Structure 1
Amino acid sequence: MISSGTGREPEAVLLGDLNIDLFLDIPALPRPGGDGVATHQRTGFGGSAANTAVVLQRLGIDVALLACIGDDDWGTAALSGISETGVDTRLVRRTVAEGTSLNVVAVTPDGERTMLAYRGASPLLDVDAVPERFGRHLHLSGYALLGDPQRAAAFVAARRARATGATVSLDVPVDPTACAEELLALLPLVDVLVIGAEEARALTGAGDERAALRALAARGPAVVAMKRGADGALLHADGTFTDLPAPRVDVVDSTGAGDSFGAGLVFALLRGADPGTACAFATACGAAAVAVRGAGASLPGRAEVGAVLGQSPEPQRAHLRALLGDSG
């Protein structure tokens, strides 16, 4: 197993994408064939797995990223950017076969983001890059299931993780109809599933959110958390459902909010929280993310999440903040 930048073995490995994000603030999305003139632009690294890795690292869990980027200037910029956050990048592979993945993200004044992505080198991560061990936890991004060889690498990683006693989580930030068969085949190897409401309904064919979560849980995951944006989250665990409201924050940019939610859930579970407490913590992480512009290096850490947790009612507030080692 690799060692992290702190000299310790990473507690978790995240498999997925590392890319460059080009953010464009636009007044409104243009009509088809029209022009959207941005009022501001900014660039930085991103990718669902990369975003989740950053938040986990900032919350206090040493993590390593398993991804593939191009041997180009964008790849160098992405690698440098995420390395500066403390995420271990020694499992990141580079290739000359494709360029680094690029996402163009249009953000409207309501904070909603619309993304156009070219995955580039990301799907070229192969089985040879997969380590034998994963610390305590392996986190998979659903984007990894869109195509081989990255898809095969994800399945091998999940099997190896389970064989060595590590837990496995899967986040589904992608339209599942593009890889429904693969997603369902992976679920028996997954302990924790994070999925959006629309994605859960599309994957199961269930019109009701609870029916969708029940169907997904029946395939293997012990914890299934549904991301519902401003409506919070719906959790299925131990045969019961729990509705969790979203903390109130001023929404600036929704990019990375789902990734931050997943990071919060994994963090809290690894720190021994019960699923309900972990999901409440995850909603705070998601809320902290929508209050900042961009993803990657802009995403929240302990201070920002702690500030959102300060809105929680007692005694839940103290219990949640204790996960951060904060008794305040």
Structure 2
Amino acid sequence: MKVAVVGHVEWGSFALVDAVPRTGEIIHTKDFWQEVAGGGSVAAMQLAQLADSCLFFTAIGDDDLGRRSIEQLESEGVEVYASVLEGVSTKDIYVHIDNQKERTVTINGNVKPDGNDTSLPWEKLAEVDAVYFASGNQEALLAARKAKTLVSTARILQLLQESSIQLDALVCSRKDTREQYSDGQLNPKPALVVTTAGIEGGSVDNGERYVAELVPESDLMDTYGCGDSFAAGLTFALGQDRELQDALHFAAQCGAEAAKRRGSFGNG
């Protein structure tokens, strides 16, 4: 089975803290590490783990952070096709992980894949079974639609509205306001709309629900990357034409496994 991701790379700086600092407060970390991160990267590494390899169309700055990001991605079995942008810094993030294992993220930059970059082999997307679209422009989205199965995050709702592309699945979040969707906001309507709700499980727009895969407290590392790992698992399962409940259960397992990894993929 061939899978792919179109989305962003972020270089992540992770700080383990007792609590997110209040305004004006100075705190010390209990641990600190850096690794490749971002929704596109997390999904690509998750899909590479499931399918033994994953194509990843992305963009980086012409800098050390971009090169280190690609090295880590390739070490996880990801086949990277990246636009290298001169004079632009690779997108990076700062992540606080508190005692509740919750992540709080600050983002610097907005580098994302550009489907107009003809140096990248966008035609390869027509050969894959399933694509997860995390970010990009309209041309990148059109290239992704040539795959048999296309799953997207609701984070890019405005782009989806402008593109009028038929999605096989849209992944939303009940808790994250950036990833919410209401019926009628997209035309054509996605074939499937899945709304996640963390440990409460989630729901489908046809009225079905799924149960979360609970992680024992002793195994819980943090919540970073759980949503995109769920989406990657759903993309993989739908690409295999699994029954809906089976696909949802599989995706929930992927999200739970992400909670057992430190940071984005345990590379820090």
Equivalent of 2:194 in 209, 225, 231: 225
Higher relative contact order (CA 8 A, sep 6+): 2
Equivalent of 2:11 in 14, 20, 23: 20
Instruction: Say if 1:219 and 1:35 are closer, same or farther in 2 by CA, change over 3 A.
Output: farther
Equivalent of 2:99 in 104, 109, 127: 109
1:158 aligned residue: 141
* Aligned equivalents of 2:124, 2:157: Cα separation in 1: 27
| Uncovered stretches (5+) of structure 2, i.e. residues with no partner | none
Read off the aligned partner of 1:285 and give its amino acid letter: C
Matches within 5 A, 1:220-299: 220-236=189-205, 240-249=206-215, 250=217, 251-298=220-267
**Is the Cα–Cα contact under 8 Å of residues 150 and 235 in structure 2 kept in the other structure?**
no
* Aligned equivalents of 1:19, 1:59: Cα separation in 2: 22
Read off the aligned partner of 1:70 and give its amino acid letter: G
Instruction: Provide the alpha-carbon RMSD of the alignment.
Output: 2.4
1:140 aligned residue: 133
**Is the Cα–Cα contact under 8 Å of residues 22 and 44 in structure 1 kept in the other structure?**
yes
Equivalent of 1:96 in 53, 75, 86: 86
Matches within 5 A, 1:21-170: 21-60=12-51, 62-89=53-80, 91-119=81-109, 122-123=111-112, 125-129=114-118, 131-134=122-125, 135-141=128-134, 144=135, 150-151=136-137, 155-162=138-145, 164=146, 166-170=148-152
* Aligned equivalents of 2:235, 2:200: Cα separation in 1: 20
Secondary structure of the residue aligned to 1:260 is: helix
Matches within 5 A, 1:294-309: 294-298=263-267
TM-score (norm 2): 0.88
Deviation, 1:200, is 7.0
1:4 aligned residue: none
**Is the Cα–Cα contact under 8 Å of residues 187 and 220 in structure 1 kept in the other structure?**
no
* Aligned equivalents of 2:185, 2:232: Cα separation in 1: 20
Per-residue CA deviations over 1:158-188 (Å, capped at 9, x if unaligned) read 32343x453211013x4xxxx6533333463
**Is the Cα–Cα contact under 8 Å of residues 69 and 100 in structure 1 kept in the other structure?**
yes
Deviation, 1:114, is 0.2
Secondary structure of the residue aligned to 2:193 is: strand
Deviation, 1:191, is 1.3
1:196 aligned residue: 173
Q: How many residues matched?
A: 261
Higher helix share: 1
Read off the aligned partner of 1:243 and give its amino acid letter: R
Deviation, 1:16, is 1.0
Secondary structure of the residue aligned to 1:104 is: strand
Per-residue CA deviations over 1:201-245 (Å, capped at 9, x if unaligned) read 9855xxxxxxx3x44677421111111111112123xxx221112
* Aligned equivalents of 1:139, 1:247: Cα separation in 2: 22
| Uncovered stretches (5+) of structure 1, i.e. residues with no partner | 1-9, 145-149, 205-211, 300-328
Secondary structure of the residue aligned to 1:296 is: coil
